[in-house]
């Protein structure tokens, strides 16, 4: 109305224009590059190949589990149980492998395969329970997955009595934990493959299309004849399956089945997805940006480690970064909404 009002308004508009012109999610890639340059200038070790590979490997686990979380968020849900699924998978796979390996030391690969199958199946089963309870009984996903989280952690602790499961076949840790191709850990290739497949699924298949549709407007989807219940169950199952994969890979990395393995992953996976632009209201989210979100978190952690920032202070920084990243994104949505 008055000049100052116009000036501020102009400034706001200019700011919004910058945000709007930035591609799709906008700030994240730019932020990643800036961080990359900043850490490198401050601590040249950061740019070394070995360190970068390390960052990639550390972010791989988070990428897989966050991609699963993204699926559930996009369909309009929520999964608090992913961390517990990691723990349960780790324990289940670990116990089966260790027992079979102890019984038949020669058949290590058979033990590994059966252990993997059992672990992945147990983990996915949690997803089926989540999906069925959310879709059929229409209980809030928050509460359902809170419950299954408690159940899965409880089971994992009960089975192991809190003691890590040792005695896994060496081949397992070697193949899945430490193996490198062209000096890059095999986990990184696997993650790239999973993200690629999910990208394809979300963009080129009926499943992906329906996940977006259901998250955007479940009523419209139902009316259009999409079997929404089935797709919700499938999505929760996929999420738990991916969490189970993460559980198996982490087990291979630490070399034992542990009931405390996934404790921080639930919050981190949601943080990575949200930083990657996934809407908590459903319908919006792209797997490639979620991967970037996970990479971002890993990069920040790694950089701070190299800068010798106290690990306790790191949690403060990550918390603040999360709020600010989403706050900026919020400004962008407002700018577009006009």
Partner 1 sequence: MTALTPPEALGRRPLKALVQFVVLYGALPIIIALMYLGFGLIEPAFHSGENAINILKQSSYLAILAAGQLFALLTRGFDLSVGQLISLVSVAGGLVMLDVLEGSPGAVALAVFAGIAVGLGAGLATGVVNGVCVAVFRINPFVVTLGMLGICMGFATTLSDGFPVFNLPEGLTNTLSRADVIGIPVPVIAALLVLGTAYVILNHSVLGRSMYVIGSNPRAAHTAGLRSRLHLASAYVICSVFVAVGALLLTARTGSGEPNLGGGLMLQSIAAAVIGGVSLRGGEGKVIHAVYGALFVTVLSVGMNLIRVDGTIQQIILGIVVVAAVYLDQLRTRFR
Partner 2 sequence: MSETHRDDRAAGAGQDELLLAMAGITKRFPGVVALDDVDFDVRRGEVHVLFGENGAGKSTLINIVAGTYPQDDGTMTFDGRRITHLTPHQSRLAGISPVFQEFSLAPDLTVEENLFLGREQARWGVLRKGAMRTRAREVLHDLGFDLRPGARVGQLMRAQQQMTEIAKALLQDLKLFILDEPTASLTERETNRLFALIERLKGEGVGIIYVSHRINEIRRVGDRVTVLRDGKKIGTVQASNVEETKLVEMMTGRRIDALFPDIAAMAGDAMLDVRNLSTVDGRLSDVSFEVRAGEIVGVAGLVGCGKSELARAVFGLDKFSVGELDVLGERVAHPTPTGMLKRGVCYFPSDRVAEGLALSRPVRENASVAALDLADFTRWRFIRRRQERTAIKRIVEELRVRPPQIERSVDHLSGGNRQKVMLARGLTRDIRVFLFDEPTVGIDVGAKTEVYQFLGELTKRGAAVLLISSELPEVVNLAHRVYVMHEGRIVNHLEGNEITEEAVLASFFGTGADAPSAGAAAG
Residues within the interface to partner 2 (CB under 8 A): 1, 6, 9, 204-207, 209, 212-213, 215-217, 219-226, 283-284, 338
- The label of the residue with tokens 């996970």 reads 294
Q: How far is the CB of 239 from partner 1 (least distance, A)?
A: 17
* 274 contacts partner 1 (rule: CB under 8 A): yes
User: How far is Cα 44 from Cα 277, in angstroms, rounded to an integer?
Assistant: 30
* 3 contacts partner 1 (rule: CB under 8 A): no
User: How far is Cα 322 from Cα 325, in angstroms, rounded to an integer?
Assistant: 5
* 8 Å CB contact between 43 and 306: yes
Helix (H) or strand (E) holding 148: helix 141-160
Q: How far is the CB of 284 from partner 2 (least distance, A)?
A: 6
Q: Which is nearer to partner 1, 139 or 201 (CB)?
A: 139
* 260 contacts partner 1 (rule: CB under 8 A): no
Tokens of 71: 């699926």
Residue 70: how many other CB atoms lie within 10 Å: 30
Site for partner 1 in 135-194 (CB under 8 A): 137-140, 142-144, 146-155, 157-158
**Residue environment code for 229-266, b if the CB has 16+ CB neighbours within 10 A, otherwise e:** bebbbbbbbbbbbbbbbbbbbbbbbebbbbbebbeebb
* 8 Å CB contact between 97 and 111: yes
Stretch that binds partner 1, among 9-17, 26-34, 208-216, 327-335 (CB under 8 A): 327-335
Q: How far is the CB of 228 from partner 1 (least distance, A)?
A: 18
* 326 contacts partner 1 (rule: CB under 8 A): yes
- Residue 213 interface partner, choices partner 1, partner 2, none, CB cut-off 5-8 Å depending on type: partner 2
Q: Which is nearer to partner 2, 20 or 170 (CB)?
A: 20
Stretch that binds partner 1, among 3-11, 39-47, 214-222, 265-273 (CB under 8 A): 265-273
- Residue 215 interface partner, choices partner 2, partner 1, none, CB cut-off 5-8 Å depending on type: partner 2
- The label of the residue with tokens 């095999």 reads 186
* 8 Å CB contact between 45 and 308: no
Q: Which is nearer to partner 2, 1 or 323 (CB)?
A: 1
Q: Which is nearer to partner 2, 180 or 336 (CB)?
A: 336
Angstrom distances, CA of residue 320 to CA of 28, 44, 50, 268: 15, 25, 29, 13
* 223 contacts partner 1 (rule: CB under 8 A): no
* 8 Å CB contact between 128 and 218: no
Q: Which is nearer to partner 2, 2 or 50 (CB)?
A: 2
CB-count exposure of residue 288 (10 Å: 0-12, 13-18, 19+): middle
Contacts of 133 (CB under 8 A, 6+ apart): 139, 144, 148
Q: Which is nearer to partner 1, 188 or 328 (CB)?
A: 328
Question: Interface residues with partner 1 (CB under 8 A)?
Answer: 133, 137-140, 142-144, 146-155, 157-158, 267, 270-271, 274, 280, 310, 312-323, 326-327, 330, 334
């Amino acid at each position: 109305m008055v000049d100052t009002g116009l000036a501020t308004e102009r400034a706001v508009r200019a700011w919004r224009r910058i945000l709007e012109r930035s591609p799709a999610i906008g700030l994240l890639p730019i932020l990643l590059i800036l961080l990359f340059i900043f850490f490198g200038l401050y601590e040249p070790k950061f740019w070394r190949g070995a360190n970068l590979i390390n960052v990639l490997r550390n972010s791989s686990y988070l990428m897989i589990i966050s991609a699963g979380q993204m699926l559930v968020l996009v369909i309009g849900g929520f999964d608090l149980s992913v961390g517990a699924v990691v723990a349960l998978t780790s324990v289940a796979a670990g116990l089966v492998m260790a027992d079979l390996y102890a019984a038949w030391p020669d058949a290590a690969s058979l033990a590994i395969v059966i252990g993997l199958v059992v672990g992945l199946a147990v983990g996915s089963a949690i997803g089926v329970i989540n999906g069925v309870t959310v879709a059929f009984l229409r209980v809030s996903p928050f509460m359902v997955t809170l419950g299954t989280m408690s159940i899965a952690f409880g089971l994992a602790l009960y089975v192991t009595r809190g003691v890590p499961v040792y005695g896994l076949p060496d081949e397992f840790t070697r193949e899945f934990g430490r193996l490198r191709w062209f000096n890059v850990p095999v986990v990184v290739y696997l993650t790239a493959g999973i993200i690629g497949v999910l990208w394809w699924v979300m963009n080129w298949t009926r499943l992906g299309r329906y996940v977006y549709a259901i998250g955007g407007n479940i009523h419209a989807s139902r009316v259009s004849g999409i079997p929404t219940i089935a797709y919700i169950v499938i999505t929760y199952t996929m999420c738990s399956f991916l969490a189970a994969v993460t559980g198996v890979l982490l087990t291979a990395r630490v070399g034992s089945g542990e009931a405390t393995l996934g404790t921080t992953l639930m919050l981190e996976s949601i943080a990575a997805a949200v930083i990657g632009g996934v809407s908590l209201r459903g319908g919006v989210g792209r797997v490639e940006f979620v991967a970037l979100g996970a990479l971002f978190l890993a990069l920040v952690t790694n950089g701070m480690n190299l800068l010798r920032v106290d690990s306790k202070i790191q949690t403060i920084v990550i918390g603040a970064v999360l709020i600010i990243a989403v706050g900026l994104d919020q400004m962008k949505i407002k700018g577009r909404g006009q």
